[in-house]
Structure 1
Amino acid sequence: MQNSDFDIAEIIEGTTKLLVPRESITEIVPPKEPAFFNPRAKLNRDFSIIAYSAFLKNFDGPKIFLEGLSGLGARGLRVSNEIKSVEKVVINDLNPSALEIAKRSARLNELKNIDFSENEICRFLSDYSKKGNRGTIVDIDPFGSPSRYIDCGIRATMHGGMLSVTATDLQVLHGLFQNACKRRYGGTPIKVEYGNEIAIRLILGCIRSVAGRLDIEFIPLFVESDMHYYRVYLKILNRPDQEENLGYIIHCKKCGKREVSLEKKTNCESCGEKNHHAGPLWIGKMFDKKFLEQMLDETKNFQVDKTCERVLQKCILEEDMPGTYYTLDEIASRLKTSPIRLEKIIEVLHESGFKASQTCLNPTGFRTDADIEKIKEFF
Structure 2
Amino acid sequence: MRERGMAITIPGLDVPLKAVREGLAEVLVPAEEIRAPKKAPVFYNPAMVVNRDIAVLVLRAWWARGGLDRPLRACEPLCGCGVRGIRFALEVPSVGEVMMGDLNPSAVRLSRENVRRNRVEERVRVELSDANVLLTQHSAPGRRFDYVDLDPFGSPAPFLDSAVRALRSRGLLALTATDMAPLCGVYVLACVRKYGAIPARVDYAKELAVRILLGALARVTGAHDMGIRPLLAHATDHYARAYCVLLRGQGKASESVSRLGWLAHCPSCWERELLPGLGSLPERECPSCGRRRLIAGPLWTGRLFDSEFCHAVAEEANRVPWVSRRARRVLELLAEEADGPPTYYSLPKLCDALDLGLPPVRELVSALRERGWWASRTHFDPQGVRTNAPAKELVKAIRELVKAR
Q: TM-score range by the shorter chain?
A: over 0.9
| AA partner of residue 377 (structure 1) | K
- Structure 1 position 361, deviation (Å): 0.8
Matched-pair contact (CA < 8 Å) for 2:269–2:289: yes
Matched-pair contact (CA < 8 Å) for 2:71–2:94: no
Q: Secondary structure of 1:44's partner?
A: helix
Aligned length, in residue pairs: 377
- Structure 1 position 28, deviation (Å): 6.1
TM-score under structure 2 length normalisation: 0.90
Question: What does residue 258 of structure 1 align with?
Answer: 272
2:331 to 309, 312, 334: 312
2:56 to 49, 59, 73: 49
- Structure 1 position 337, deviation (Å): 1.3
- 153-162 vs 60-69, greater mean Cα deviation: 60-69
Matched-pair contact (CA < 8 Å) for 2:347–2:383: yes
1:109 to 107, 115, 118: 118
Q: Secondary structure of 1:323's partner?
A: coil
1:139 to 139, 149, 162: 149
- In 2, the alpha carbon distance for the partners of 1:55 and 1:261 equals 30
- In 2, the alpha carbon distance for the partners of 1:66 and 1:40 equals 22
Question: What does residue 344 of structure 1 align with?
Answer: 363
Determine whether 1:301 maps to 2:322: no
Within-5 A mapping of 1:1-379: 3-24=12-33, 32-59=39-66, 60=68, 61-111=70-120, 112-240=122-250, 241=252, 242-243=254-255, 244-262=258-276, 263-302=281-320, 303-379=322-398
Matched-pair contact (CA < 8 Å) for 1:3–1:101: no
Q: Secondary structure of 2:95's partner?
A: coil
- Structure 1 position 29, deviation (Å): 5.9
- Structure 1 position 57, deviation (Å): 2.1
- Structure 1 position 201, deviation (Å): 0.4
Aligned-residue CA RMSD (Å): 1.6
- In 1, the alpha carbon distance for the partners of 2:109 and 2:86 equals 13
Structure 2: gaps spanning 5 or more residues = 1-9, 399-405
- In 2, the alpha carbon distance for the partners of 1:360 and 1:4 equals 40
| AA partner of residue 284 (structure 1) | G
- In 1, the alpha carbon distance for the partners of 2:186 and 2:367 equals 37
Structure 1: gaps spanning 5 or more residues = none
- In 2, the alpha carbon distance for the partners of 1:274 and 1:31 equals 42
- What is the CA deviation profile of residues 261-285 of structure 1, one whole-angstrom value per residue up to 9, with x for unaligned ones? 1351210011101110111100000
- Structure 1 position 301, deviation (Å): 3.2
- What is the CA deviation profile of residues 94-151 of structure 1, one whole-angstrom value per residue up to 9, with x for unaligned ones? 0111111111111111112111111111110011111111111001111111111111
| AA partner of residue 293 (structure 2) | N
| AA partner of residue 337 (structure 1) | L
Matched-pair contact (CA < 8 Å) for 1:185–1:206: yes
